[in-house]
Amino acid sequence: MLPERIGYIIWVSDLKSVKNLDRYGTVHYISKRLHYVVMYVNADRAEEVLKQLDKQFFVRKVERSYRNELKTEYTKNTEDKTHFYSM
């Protein structure tokens, strides 16, 4: 079974130092233009990793990703109008 993961958006000042983030979790995406990194961390280590990330000199700000809490199951509440357009 897969462990629970938490996503972090890390705003950095130096892209050369982003290579050091691999030791804290899985780096998913690096934006070279906007200088941010999307990283996933195991939920049981999330708090201690957050404290360690705040101590790094190249980290400007760390935000938590709320993607896991978004509703991804959609329902269709309107009626189907395709029968009006069929021949």
Q: For position 20, which CATH number holds?
A: 3.30.70.80
pTM summary value: 0.77
Is residue 76 assigned to a domain?
A: no
Is residue 36 assigned to a domain?
A: yes
Is residue 87 assigned to a domain?
A: no
Is residue 78 assigned to a domain?
A: no
Is residue 41 assigned to a domain?
A: yes
Domains: count for the chain? 1
- For the beta carbon of residue 18, count every other beta carbon within 10 angstroms: 19
Is residue 57 assigned to a domain?
A: yes
Domain span at residue 38 reads 5-69
Of the chain, the end-to-end C-alpha distance in Å amounts to 50
Write out pLDDT tens, residues 42-76.
Answer: 999 999 999 999 999 999 999 999 887 888 887 77
pLDDT at 78: 74
Backbone phi and psi for residue 29, each to the nearest 5 degrees, phi listed first: -150, 140
